[in-house]
Amino acid sequence: MDPVKVGLLGLGTVGGGTVNVLQRNAEEITRRAGRGIVVTHAAARDLNKPRICSTEGITVTTTPQDVVEDPEVAIVVELIGGDTLALDLVMRAIENGKHVVTANKALIAKHGNEIFAAAQAKGVIVAFEAAVAGGIPIIKAIREGLAGNRIEWLAGIINGTGNFILTEMRDKGRDFNDVLKEAQELGYAEADPEFDVEGIDAAHKLTILASIAFGIPLQFEKAFTEGITKITREDVTYAEELGYRIKHLGVTRRTDKGIELRVHPTLIPERRLIANVDGVMNAVLVKGDAVGPTLYYGPGAGDEPTASAVVADIVDVVRVLTSDPENRVPHLAFQPDSLSDLPILKMEEVETAYYLRMQAKDEPGVLADVTRILGDKGISIEAIIQKEPEGDSTEANVIMLTHTVVEKQMNDAIQKIESLDTISGEVVRIRMESLEAS
């Protein structure tokens, strides 16, 4: 049987890694897929740029449309990123009856509903394992391995840049801006790091995970995002004193009122395995009703870790090339006509616990005023730390941990606390998650 021919859109880090993995493991991959798989076409911006892979036997062009239109190409692998040209090319590939593999989380999060509808109509597959958490097979785990479960919630460290920054701040007592600069020098963060440090990248990925976990349409525009730019060394230190680690977490949970979909800095008990995921590594914790909590850990980026996921998707496509489209694993885990209309909750409707830090005048009655305001809003306190004023300062840092409460009540309480004459500046608020199995 002739090998299946693959066309790459993008021959950079991940594209080169994909070629290398397919060539190096060709014999093993053929045994798994039942047919050979070869890259025969590729599109790249610069034909003369040095590559991390051999392009021998590959027709390389600067016109990606040539790859999409070539009748020999059975599978198009989209690795150019963005959601403009990439969307046009993917939709054209589907129209041409070609299967698609992509590592593009923004494309799937923002346009996946449209893409999957077109793919279903044409009877082709769109595979996207590499779009979330790099080399960790989290999509397959939820969509297939946990198919017998009712997923209750999942929480993930799904952006390596943010995790690297918070790890350095904790381990070495460094400031955010100092670590961010190093992350850019090391290539972990872009020159414009907004997508990473403000949670947009993680929200793209969380949107995809929520959809396959709960069987809901992709709704990126409804995801709540909060970045890590305001996290200080002091907050990291105080969290440690209280037995917690701060992680930039993506959380999605099924509740009676709807689905939570949120990315923000989060205090996690230090004894949790996910709290000890450091550096640029990723991890996703999934709670199913039958299996309980399961943790998936590994590299979230890089040429061959991401290529591992891309190649796995290519193998899956090759395995089912001749199968009945109606009997394939659905793109979003649930049959397309069985997606739920559960609403995405607004952040003010979410219930969680909180870490609060405030600058308070070191005089009698201040704590009583603060606790009264919290009590009036139905907010109970789990722990309080008051730090002695430093030097000639007359203000002390007061840190509180609360029990769970609806965010709207906390917003109202913080507004009242900040209006007190004895409180300086804004109250720092970081959400907390216990991530318990029960």
Residue 130's alpha-carbon distances to 3, 75, 103, in angstroms, are 23, 15, 5
- The per-residue pLDDT for range 259-272, each reduced to its tens digit, is 999 999 999 999 99
More confident residue, 322 or 50: 50
Sequence-distant (≥ 6) Cβ neighbours of residue 291 within 8 angstroms = 146, 149
- The per-residue pLDDT for range 371-417, each reduced to its tens digit, is 999 999 999 999 999 888 877 788 889 999 999 999 999 999 999 99
Q: What confidence score (pLDDT) does residue 330 get? A: 78
Q: What confidence score (pLDDT) does residue 193 get? A: 92
What rounded mean pLDDT belongs to the chain? 94
Q: Measuring CA to CA, which residue among 411, 416, 314 is closest to residue 79?
A: 314
pLDDT band at 335 (very low <50, low <70, confident <90, very high): confident
Looking at residues 234-247, what average pLDDT do you find?
96
Lowest-confidence segment of 117-131, 182-196, 221-235, 243-257 by average pLDDT:
182-196
Reply yes or no on whether the pLDDT at 438 is more than 60: no
Q: Which amino acid, residue 108?
A: I
Q: Torsion angle, CA of 399/401/406/411, rounded to 10 degrees?
A: 0
The gap from C-alpha 383 to its chain's centroid, in whole angstroms, comes to 31
Q: What domains sit in the chain, N to C, each tagged with a CATH number?
A: 4-135+303-338 (3.40.50.720), 143-298 (3.30.360.10), 350-432 (3.30.70.260)
pLDDT band at 329 (very low <50, low <70, confident <90, very high): confident
Active site residues: 205
Instruction: Check if the beta carbon of residue 101 is closer than 8 Å to that of residue 77.
Output: yes
Q: Structure pTM?
A: 0.94
Looking at residues 21-46, what average pLDDT do you find?
96
- Per-residue tokens: 417: 């606390």
pLDDT band at 150 (very low <50, low <70, confident <90, very high): very high
Q: What confidence score (pLDDT) does residue 322 get? A: 67
Reply yes or no on whether the pLDDT at 317 is more than 90: yes
Q: What confidence score (pLDDT) does residue 192 get? A: 86
pLDDT band at 256 (very low <50, low <70, confident <90, very high): very high
Q: What confidence score (pLDDT) does residue 234 get? A: 93
Looking at residues 347-353, what average pLDDT do you find?
97
Q: Measuring CA to CA, which residue among 176, 3, 207 is closest to residue 104?
A: 207
